Amino acid sequence: MGGDLGPEEVVAGARLAASELGVEVVLVGDPERIGDAGGLAVIAASEVIEMHDDPAAAVRTKRDSSLVRTAEAVRDGRAGAMVSAGNTGATMVSALLRMGRIKGVSRPAIATPIPVPGSTPTVVLDAGANAECSPAWLVQFAQMGAAFSRQRFGIPEPRVGLLSIGEEPSKGTPLVKEAHCLLAGGAAGPEVHFVGNVEGRDVMSDAVDVVVTDGFTGNVVLKTIEGSMRFAMRAVLAALDTDEATKAAGDVLLPALLPLAAELDPDTYGGAMLLGVEGVCVISHGSSSSRAIVNAIRVARDAIDADLVGRLAASTGAAAGS
């Protein structure tokens, strides 16, 4: 029922995914608003958590909402993964409360891939699940982020960095300094290749594969990148539109610029992943097109096939026992 473009776009994406990927897609929501499901199964849900609803309150009171019912379908084994373009906070809370946490995980985190054309994306986590974090949680984010980067992007030994305001371990907040100390001391276990502190300018570079931070800073970073990329694109388009000569030049350049725009388009990446819950949960951005939904479903399918949840459990459990 979610997504800024309405259920039609999400349903269109689900139908495309079923035919293109050959996966079984179950739609959850109000059958009337879903309309023609194109033969896909439908789990009826009478309520909708709106984009502006308070996540925790809405999940508590709207028990027959599409988000809550979707998380229950995963919990009950009627679905292998949940994909949502709706209220991010409510998606997270539904998944957390209905699926539960992976044993040993203190807090789930949102992992968001940031495109780095010419290289594999950089995974930033936590991208907004926990505004406040403890150093031990950041250590778990490092473990989960490394396992995710390995599964999703096939990087054998992901380089994990801690977001700070300087390379030196002495830089940053007490949270960052303590997390640095733990990570540098090997608290994340042998599977995490910790490369030290990284800075904001390293996120969109190939200097690091996983960037660990608290959910407040991570969310600010994502939205700052989103804003500055949108700004840069507009500025370049405005320059192309200066006069007849630049318009003609723009036509020549378009084939070279389009692949770049596609690589930067969040639709390409299928959205973020909630790591640490007992099931696969993909959070597609609110303005997801049907193409973005297809990509999100592909990401969900790949996570199931590769047993991402089992890998996350192993990554966090192994170090807990060490």
Q: What are the residues binding a copy of itself (CB under 8 A)?
A: 54, 116-117, 128, 131-132, 163, 165, 170-174, 176, 199-205, 215-217, 219-233, 235-236, 239-240, 242, 245-246, 248-250, 252-253, 256-257, 260
Which of 185, 148, 178 minimizes the C-alpha distance to 164? 178
> Which tokens in the block code for residue 122?
């950089």
Supply the minimum distance, in Å, between the C-beta of residue 172 and a copy of itself.
6
Supply the minimum distance, in Å, between the C-beta of residue 238 and a copy of itself.
8
How far is the first Cα of the chain from the last one, in angstroms, to the nearest whole number? 44
Q: What are phi and psi of 101, to 5 degrees?
A: -90, 155
In the complex with a copy of itself, the residue whose CB is nearer, 197 or 316, is 197
In the complex with a copy of itself, the residue whose CB is nearer, 241 or 305, is 241
In the complex with a copy of itself, the residue whose CB is nearer, 41 or 262, is 262
Distance of CA 275 to the CA centre of its chain: 9
What string of DSSP letters covers 124-168?
A: EE-SSS-SS--HHHHHHHHHHHHHHHHHHH--SS-EEEEE-SSSS
Contact 102, 194 (CB under 8 A): no
Supply the minimum distance, in Å, between the C-beta of residue 243 and a copy of itself.
8
Supply the minimum distance, in Å, between the C-beta of residue 14 and a copy of itself.
28
Distance CA 278, CA 261 (A): 35
Supply the minimum distance, in Å, between the C-beta of residue 285 and a copy of itself.
13
Supply the minimum distance, in Å, between the C-beta of residue 2 and a copy of itself.
17
In the complex with a copy of itself, the residue whose CB is nearer, 47 or 53, is 53
**Considering Cα of 263, then 268, then 269, then 272, what sign does the dihedral take?**
positive
In the complex with a copy of itself, the residue whose CB is nearer, 131 or 320, is 131
In the complex with a copy of itself, the residue whose CB is nearer, 43 or 236, is 236
Contact 180, 172 (CB under 8 A): yes
What string of DSSP letters covers 81-124?
A: EEEE-S-HHHHHHHHHHHH-BPTT-SS-EEEEEEP-TTSPPEEE
Supply the minimum distance, in Å, between the C-beta of residue 259 and a copy of itself.
8
Peptide bond into 126 cis (omega under 30): yes
In the complex with a copy of itself, the residue whose CB is nearer, 29 or 271, is 271
Which of 230, 267, 296, 306 minimizes the C-alpha distance to 91? 296
> Which tokens in the block code for residue 29?
């929501």
Distance CA 135, CA 121 (A): 25
In the complex with a copy of itself, the residue whose CB is nearer, 87 or 290, is 87
Supply the minimum distance, in Å, between the C-beta of residue 272 and a copy of itself.
14
